[in-house]
Chains A and B, each alone.
Chain A
Amino acid sequence: MKMEQFNDRNVADNGYFLVDIEDYPTDGWGKFKRVLKRSFKGELFVGLWVVLREMIKFDIHTVQYPEEKMPIGPRYRAVHEMKRLWESDAERCIGCGLCEKICISDCIRMDTKIDENSRKEVTEYTINLGRCIFCGYCAEVCPELAITHGGEYEQASEQREHFVDYEYMLTPLDKMKAGKQLEFEGFGAITPHEDERVKKTPLAY
């Protein structure tokens, strides 16, 4: 076992280091030179010219968001959804923790415990959307097709926690009862003709 990590007692570091930035000028002459450099380099006008050029063309391709929205493909990866089982409306998530493991930005966490039926129960589940890069690995790795991506890309809310709440991500029961839960077709979804590719196991029943 490597012991280096235990021998590093400098807890303040956390692996951060300083990048090489030129020091800001502190004396008057230096500051004056900086003002001159910034004012007369003319970078500002480059940007302004692009805007002006496009404005006078009157050929605008921009979608008039939020009045107008683009249609979202079924494989689009926005805020996660948690699916329910069609048969029982119960949650699909079994708490295996694979999404937590595979997450490359380390933004998924879950707490599990043993429930009264001796089954594994997920008591808390959070995704830190501030860190999530929507790579879709969690949906791909999920063995139960429980966590998928939805089309909800608008992440403005009065309560940011809304998005990461397990309850919020779960398909609402009424939607489930109405049979309106949509299956995700992207990463991790079952491919067509899956049955034909599976080798059958003999059974003695």
Chain B
Amino acid sequence: MSKIMINIDGKDVETQEGQYLLEAARANDIFIPAICYLTRCSPTLACRICLVEADGKQVYACNAKAKDGMKIVTSTENIEKERRAIMEVYDVNHPLQCGVCDQSGECELQNYTLEIGVDSQSYAIKDVDRSAHDWGHLHYDPGLCIVCERCVTACKDMIGDNSLKTIPRGSEPLSAEYKAEMPKDAYAMWNKLNKSVIGLTNGTDVLDCTSCGECAAVCPVGALVDTQFMYKSNAWELRQVPATCGHCSAGCQISYDIKHTSIDNPEDKIYRVMNEWNYVSLCGAGRYGFDYQNAGVVKDESAFANAIEAFKKADTIAFTSTITNEEAYLLQQMKEKFGYKLINHEAKAFQEFLDNYSQISGQKLYKGDLKKVHDTNFIVSIGSALKTDNPNARYALNNSLTVRKGAGIYFHPVKDPIIEGIAKSIMTVTHAPLQEEVALYLLLDLFADKTALPADIVEYLASFHSQKTITVEEVVKEKVVEVVKEMQVNEESGEEVEVEVEKTKMVSKKVSKEVEVDENKLLEILGADENFMETLEKNLKKKESFALMVGPDLYRHPRAKNLARLVALVEKYSQFEVTMIPALTNSLGVALLCDLDDERGEYTVGYNTEADFVLSALGDGDLDMPALNQQEGTLTSVNKRVNPTNAALGYGGYELNDIANALGFTAENVIDYTVKLPTSVGFQAKEFDNLPNHYENDGTEVRGYVLENVAVTQSDDENVDKFSDDKLEGCIIYLANPVRQFTEFTNKATNLDEVSGIYMSEEYLSKTDYNEGDRVTIKTQKGELSANIVCDNKIAGDIVVLPTFDKKLNAEVLFDGYRFSTASIQKG
């Protein structure tokens, strides 16, 4: 990719070789109308309105690539004619009900109709029945739909659900006269539009997807609307509060759209969550799980006095990673001042993992981020249930595979039909739990530079290879000469005569051949597919950038230390750039900011976690705390970015800062600590109020700042242990949430209605005599619990999944750190 200069409407513009003209124009604030194009997705070519003239030739700006010295004119007489005709066509039979449409003016059809100045209509066609559909959490009105297919594109190229497609409209064909009299592109666009509407791929009338709602967000008109938002409010009444989603470590840019609750109730309420969908895609939890605020809290002075008392008495503070950097910093300051122990097992494990990793890598943090994963074309994921641990990581994987013709390997014990359904080029390896080390050794074996890799590792890896002779059947094509008798007409006599003709034919023949092949025992141990190597070879063609995503399974693995060192070795000796997915919203921030301890002391104050005295943003503790949508502060995301978030809703109670102030600290607001975040671990001394939170036109993320990847002392010791043969077998349980759930906070949101229970795949239920709804008891060495079986069609295979989002279920008691465990399941 090299920098080139092109000229758009007389303005010299610098861009990348091969960049789409539309992107180049947008990045330089030059307006080219376009409806169907989505940044980061493949061009759809449905609207054709982005017509421009490049070097005298009409091209579509959304799929024409920039070449050095190109001259582009965005508007000519002919193009204007086309655009006008296209907009007229879009207005044919479009209902004039803008007054009650939920798009309420944020409508691209309206905008472009006005921009292009359509004031009369020349075309007409008989309309067909296009009545509305209720697809569950989405409402589709084909009457309003302009079939730009942006929803289909987003679902396919970004999300990876492939839930939407175009289906036949059942309309009469266009009148033949139009073909002659209409501009060419407008006619072609109408011809296609007239044949389709949007439908579901599963053939039913109810969506069965991961319910992200991204399709409704990208809809330029009011055809796809969130059912929960229908007719609730006009867009212009809503005030946008720029924020960062607090549900997982992706730290997506969102804006909370707020307005008073009703005429009777002037309290602010969040009506919906919007995102910059050209540059960031949300998951269902981010989009619909917004009302988790701790509402109706007033200053309870006696509870506050008790809290101060508890803090004076306590020797330990336990907390979860669903807190801001500022509060984590404050907790650390309290530890330094009063000697509290800080307990957060999940963040502690991540911290140790990072430390072990940096001993070899020499850097505090991993090299990659999800933006880079989007842009690479070979991705490996190990140790993470991607779609539920960090949906954005899954989008990045899908985006790379579908738009950048990438490929990937997904190592995980739990089979995932969603991941498998992304593209053909995803290879899934369902290995046994505890075998993650083998997967990393396999990566070293396949991708590491063997000349640079320490000799003992090379030797160890070689020990798994053996030569084997196998018989292969090959199809060989041979030339065969045949003599065929043919009837020919004698030209002179006009009679038919039998003539012998020689004909050569290619005949394919099966040949058995003995070949020496290399057998890799690691593949066998992992249970990889038989033709894994062949597929990999095919998938590795034309791949130049590599990304490795590792997830929370590794951090609390019994051999986490060795895994961390292996990950560092993979990064060091191969082209892979590593991204580590933190388990919770701010695990990375907490891991960087706090010195964490292992054991609780005698008296513990818990922040959003069980303890002797509980501060709770869920509203069920001894003292109320504000939830993340009621707080200002920064959150550290998986992209190593410190993102600012603003308070969407008011909060009337006490917060951690008040307690700290009562104990001798002095900060008016908790965001006074933003500037004090330690630069030694990569934070910057920036005031909270100076942190931006938006995207530029060219997609540059201008949100907070990126952590500096501080160099740490590197040890020359690159020894790693051989992998352990331990693996879990038999009945296995796994600690992971269903789609759209992360924590107790998402559970509190009214629009997320996932049923809590013991998740079993359809495959497993049909194999066993369990039925959905049965009450079963699960026992492990650590404990037992009983709950109802819930059938989850987003997982496959035999592993039973238990969620963490439901406090009542408290599934963590069954596990000893590692996310997998063997268990016994009994009915009753």
Query: Residues of A at under 8 Å CB distance from B?
Result: 1, 3, 6-7, 9, 94-98, 100-101, 109-114, 118-121, 124, 126, 143-144, 199, 201-205
List the A side residues contacting B123 at CB < 8 Å: 202
Interchain CA distance A9-B670 in the complex, whole Å: 12
The 4 closest A-B CB pairs, nearest first, are A96-B99, A202-B124, A204-B124, A7-B689
> Could you tell me how many residues of chain B have their Cβ less than 8 Å away from some Cβ of chain A?
34
Residue of A nearest to B131 (CB): A118
Bitwise interface map of B from 231 to 242 toward A, beta carbon under 8 Å scored 1, else 0: 111101100111
Interchain CA distance A205-B119 in the complex, whole Å: 22
Residue of B nearest to A100 (CB): B237
B99 contacts A94, C-beta separation under 8 Å: yes
A1 contacts B121, C-beta separation under 8 Å: no
Interchain CA distance A153-B452 in the complex, whole Å: 91
Given contacts A3-B689, A97-B104, A120-B231, contact A204 B126 (CB under 8 A): yes
Interchain CA distance A97-B104 in the complex, whole Å: 9
B262 contacts A124, C-beta separation under 8 Å: yes
Interface hits, B116-163 → A, CB 8 Å: 119-126, 132
Interchain CA distance A111-B126 in the complex, whole Å: 36
Q: Does B483 sit at the interface, judged by CB under 8 A?
A: no
B100 contacts A94, C-beta separation under 8 Å: yes
B240 contacts A1, C-beta separation under 8 Å: yes
Number of A-B contacts (CB under 8 A): 71
Q: Does B786 sit at the interface, judged by CB under 8 A?
A: no
List the B side residues contacting A202 at CB < 8 Å: 121-124
Give the contacting residue for A9; candidates B124, B237, B669; CB below 8 A.
B669
Give the contacting residue for B230; candidates A3, A9, A114; CB below 8 A.
A114
Interchain CA distance A101-B233 in the complex, whole Å: 12
Residue of A nearest to B98 (CB): A96
Interchain CA distance A48-B525 in the complex, whole Å: 109
Bitwise interface map of B from 55 to 71 toward A, beta carbon under 8 Å scored 1, else 0: 00000000000000000
Interchain CA distance A94-B236 in the complex, whole Å: 17
List the B side residues contacting A113 at CB < 8 Å: 231-232
Interchain CA distance A90-B123 in the complex, whole Å: 34
A84 to chain B, nearest CB (A): 17
Interchain CA distance A5-B231 in the complex, whole Å: 28
A91 to chain B, nearest CB (A): 13
Interchain CA distance A111-B233 in the complex, whole Å: 8
Given contacts A1-B240, A97-B237, A100-B237, contact A203 B124 (CB under 8 A): yes
Show 24 A/B contacts (Cβ-Cβ < 8 Å), sorted by A: A1-B242, A1-B694, A6-B646, A95-B231, A96-B99, A96-B234, A101-B237, A109-B260, A110-B263, A118-B132, A119-B100, A120-B231, A121-B231, A124-B264, A143-B99, A199-B121, A201-B120, A201-B121, A201-B124, A202-B122, A203-B124, A204-B124, A204-B125, A204-B126
List the B side residues contacting A98 at CB < 8 Å: 99
List the B side residues contacting A121 at CB < 8 Å: 231
Residue of B nearest to A7 (CB): B689
Interchain CA distance A98-B592 in the complex, whole Å: 50
List the B side residues contacting A118 at CB < 8 Å: 132
B263 contacts A95, C-beta separation under 8 Å: no
Q: Does B637 sit at the interface, judged by CB under 8 A?
A: no
Q: Does B693 sit at the interface, judged by CB under 8 A?
A: yes
Q: Which of B100, B121, B122, B241 has the most CB of A within 10 A?
A: B100
Q: Does B797 sit at the interface, judged by CB under 8 A?
A: no
B689 contacts A199, C-beta separation under 8 Å: no
List the A side residues contacting B237 at CB < 8 Å: 97, 100-101
Q: Does B692 sit at the interface, judged by CB under 8 A?
A: yes
List the B side residues contacting A124 at CB < 8 Å: 262-264
Give the contacting residue for B100; candidates A3, A95, A126, A203; CB below 8 A.
A95
Interchain CA distance A113-B100 in the complex, whole Å: 11
B231 contacts A3, C-beta separation under 8 Å: no
A112 to chain B, nearest CB (A): 5
B45 to chain A, nearest CB (A): 27
